[in-house]
Amino acid sequence: MKFHLTRAGCALALLAALAPPLQAAPAVHTILIDGMRFIPQTVEVKRGDTVVWRNKDPLPHTAVAETVKGGPASPVIAAGASWRYKATKAGTYPYLCTLHRTMTATLVVK
């Protein structure tokens, strides 16, 4: 079987070969605050993704990475409310609720 490529076909093939790969659209990841804990305990996201903390508890909470710069630093998240964070810097961010310091989890940004 023989193939015959036209100039236009060659140009399209060359453009396709040289084009950068398509980037996936940023994703949204949800972390529940329920029963005085973060669910899930560890979340792995990509740079550019958004992380949403949704407070299902009757108490206010925070999500703050105190020991590593660039991580989440929420204000108080009221009962029934949520807070969004855009992950822009790669790293591992241990975070906690500053109002209930036994509540800890980890955000990993690739």
Cα separation, 110 vs 68, in Å, equals: 15
Q: What CATH fold (topology level) applies to the domain 27-109?
A: Immunoglobulin-like (2.60.40)
pLDDT at 17: 57
Q: What's the pLDDT at 24?
A: 78
pLDDT at 75 over 70: yes
The pLDDT confidence band at residue 2, using thresholds 50, 70 and 90, is: low
Write b or e for each residue in 81-109: b if 16 or more Cβ atoms lie within 10 A of its Cβ, otherwise e: ebbebebeeeeebebbbeebeebebbbeb
Write down the pLDDT at residue 74: 98
pLDDT tens digit string along 5-32? 566 554 555 445 565 566 778 999 999 9
Q: If you average pLDDT over every residue of the chain, what do you get?
A: 88
What local confidence, expressed as pLDDT, does residue 39 receive? 98
